[in-house]
Amino acid sequence: MSTDVTEVRYCKICSLKSTHPGVVIAGDGVCNLCKLDVAGEMLAAYRYTSATYDEFLKAPPHPEAEFDCMLMYSGGKDSTFMLDKFVNTYRKRVLAYTFDVPFESVHAARNIDLAREKIAATFMLDRADDDIRRVMRAVFNRPQPDAPGKYLDEKLPCVSCRTFFVIRAIIKAYQEKIPYILICADPQQILTMESNVRQVVRSFCSVFGVSFATDLLGEVVEEILFAEQERLPKIVFPFIDLRHSYDPDTIVADLKAKGLYQSSPMETHCTLFPLLNYYSFRHFDCMFYKLNAASHQRAVRRNGAGARATFSIKFPDSLRLAEVEDRMKDAILALAAGEGDPAAHQKTLEGVFNDLGVDGEGARFVAGNFLNMRSLAQDLGVVLE
């Protein structure tokens, strides 16, 4: 926790703290993310990702395979946009794979219904409530992680949930001999995501252990760890094609015009959001969306008002990030400990979410979920320290 850190410094451009996983602030007060110290690495990743994307576009239909690709389909704007594009523009035979995450709001279901009516893909709905709850229990109840941690360590619960169902999709694609898996990560997320399926499986095993992984996902996990490269599906990140022009508003407008989308302020809302924030504050002294908000601040400082971050979540240009984060932290840690007046915490958090750009009703709803944090934890089997 921050109490034993002598001096926490803030990047003067993006407000990331010197204690943030993977962040180093130089003598001039600017962090490594703002200086793009990782530029070389990023370029190499982009090159591989672009080449794989081109290969996928040109690949002729395999005469014996039923599908040209599997698309990870959440019902959100990004994956709906790409599903429409590959079915209707590129005429690919797509298996749209949806994992029913039990922690997510039902708003996406409406968009999935619209897509089913209007897009000629094959839709598959997968679920594994008990198994995903086991994964979340394991990650939240891990002992205190090593500080300062690596880049994205504060998002381990979220990353673990996604990795779990991506592996279920990989197994399905592997067994059905589907050559490509499309993941509709936004351009910023692409940089931080693993593009090799064997590495995806390996990283899950290194966090949770091979026996836990095979117990959850079957012996096929070990088969994939040792399979020949040509037998494994390749991961494609289609938003690599829009990395210079990615614009969430244009995507939403395009989908609405086609009757494929109904937006909701809570569309990507995860009911574990309070616990995700608890985890990131408790272990890494930052709010869950800190990197996203910092990316926005960076864009505003560089390009002025109206600038776009490379993440798909938007924040107000005038956001005073460090100050908002402090208020949020106090309320969340008090709620986790069962201390203070719940109504006062609710009011504080509503103000926090207003400042983060969530409107009145949405802010009330999200803040209200934080008041149930202790019963949420108990229900999942998570111990709040």
Count of residues in contact with Zn ion, rule CB under 5 A: 6
- The CA-CA-CA angle for residues 357, 301, 41, to 5°, reads 100
293 binds Zn ion (CB under 5 A): no
Distance CA 217, CA 165 (A): 10
Distances (CA, A) of 338 to 152, 353, 385: 28, 21, 11
363 binds Zn ion (CB under 5 A): no
Of 319, 294, 316, the C-alpha closest to 25 is 294
34 binds Zn ion (CB under 5 A): yes
Strand 122-126 to strand 94-99: parallel, antiparallel, or no bridges (unpaired)? parallel
31 binds Zn ion (CB under 5 A): yes
Candidate ranges 11-19, 79-87, 88-96, 277-285; the one touching Zn ion (CB under 5 A)? 11-19
Whole-number minimum distance, CB 331 to Zn ion, in Å? 25
Q: Among residues 31 and 377, whose Cβ is nearest to Zn ion?
A: 31
Alpha-carbon dihedral sign for residues 241, 245, 249, 253: negative
The residue written with tokens 């530029």 in the block is 39
136 binds Zn ion (CB under 5 A): no
Candidate ranges 14-22, 139-147, 195-203, 333-341; the one touching Zn ion (CB under 5 A)? 14-22
167 binds Zn ion (CB under 5 A): no
Alpha helices, DSSP H, located in the chain: 39-58, 77-84, 107-118, 129-140, 156-176, 187-192, 197-208, 210-217, 220-226, 248-257, 273-284, 290-303, 321-337, 342-355, 360-371, 373-380
13 binds Zn ion (CB under 5 A): yes
Distance CA 349, CA 366 (A): 8
Whole-number minimum distance, CB 188 to Zn ion, in Å? 14
DSSP state of 384: P
Candidate ranges 5-13, 261-269, 271-279, 339-347; the one touching Zn ion (CB under 5 A)? 5-13
Q: Among residues 283 and 296, whose Cβ is nearest to Zn ion?
A: 296
Structure tokens, 36: 């793009």
Candidate ranges 7-15, 78-86, 181-189, 369-377; the one touching Zn ion (CB under 5 A)? 7-15
14 binds Zn ion (CB under 5 A): yes
Number of Cα atoms under 13 Å in the Cβ half of residue 103: 25
Q: Among residues 20 and 269, whose Cβ is nearest to Zn ion?
A: 20
Strand 122-126 to strand 180-182: parallel, antiparallel, or no bridges (unpaired)? unpaired
Whole-number minimum distance, CB 25 to Zn ion, in Å? 7
Structure tokens, 122: 């094959």
Candidate ranges 8-16, 173-181, 214-222, 254-262; the one touching Zn ion (CB under 5 A)? 8-16
Q: Among residues 13 and 173, whose Cβ is nearest to Zn ion?
A: 13
11 binds Zn ion (CB under 5 A): yes
299 binds Zn ion (CB under 5 A): no
272 binds Zn ion (CB under 5 A): no
Contact status, residue 140 vs residue 380, Cβ threshold 8 Å:
yes
Q: Among residues 31 and 83, whose Cβ is nearest to Zn ion?
A: 31
Q: Among residues 14 and 178, whose Cβ is nearest to Zn ion?
A: 14
Whole-number minimum distance, CB 29 to Zn ion, in Å? 9
Interface residue list for Zn ion (CB under 5 A): 11, 13-14, 16, 31, 34
